[in-house]
Structure 1
Amino acid sequence: MTDKGQKTLDQAYEGLEKEAPDRVARAIRWLRDPKARWIRIPLGVLFIIASMLWFLPVVGIEMLPLGLLLIAQDVPFLRKPVGRFMIWLERKWVALRHRWQRG
């Protein structure tokens, strides 16, 4: 089950990297490196806490999925549900972006 969860999480990361600007995609790839664990976990917790301050103009609820995604890299039981949620979220984002472009 862990292997399938990791595959789902990898697929979510790939979709995010594809949709993100190049500079952000490079940062995501760097954060996925096993050596970046000591940065990834506190950053994920910080993003989750920041999402609770959704009413402020700089941070918002969009920080929650990013924080969960970062933490799921190191917490096996979160990999599959977070990966599936991120894949779903990316599909919705792509559909919304296409709808805006068609105008």
Structure 2
Amino acid sequence: MNGAAGTRRKKHKISAFGREFALPQSRALRIAIGVVFIVFGLLGFLPILGFWMIPVGLLVLSYEFAMIRRHRRRFVIWWERRRRPS
């Protein structure tokens, strides 16, 4: 064993719409990206920016904060139950 196994870092990825998107290794940078998406999403009435940025920002932050993660998981369960044929 060469000792490199202990220095490996966990890859942070977001899965959305069947695709995976890599996130930065830095926790502070991930939080900053999530907050920036939410703030710019609030300016969604402007060209280029859009309200779509708010859920993306919440998705990024859900990997850092348990409260947001809990709501994301509840939404995923609700969505899957709704999509399932009765």
TM-score (norm 2): 0.62
Post-superposition offset of 1:36: 3.5
Post-superposition offset of 1:39: 2.0
Which structure carries more strand by proportion? Answer: 2
Whether the 8 Å CA contact 1:44–1:66 is kept in 2: the answer is yes
Which structure carries more helix by proportion? Answer: 1
Structure 2 residue runs of 5 or longer lacking an equivalent are 1-13
Distance 2:76 2:27 in 1: 20
2:70 — aligned with what?
A: 80
Distance 1:86 1:64 in 2: 17
RMSD of aligned residue pairs (Cα, Å): 2.5
Structure 1 residue runs of 5 or longer lacking an equivalent are 1-12, 93-103
Secondary structure (helix, strand or coil) at the match of 1:56 reads coil
Whether the 8 Å CA contact 1:41–1:71 is kept in 2: the answer is yes
Moved over 3 A (4+): 83-88
Change (3 A) 1:61 1:85: farther
Secondary structure (helix, strand or coil) at the match of 1:83 reads helix
Higher relative contact order (CA 8 A, sep 6+): 1
Secondary structure (helix, strand or coil) at the match of 1:65 reads helix
Identical counterparts, % of pairs: 36
Q: Report the structure number with the largest CA radius of gyration.
A: 2
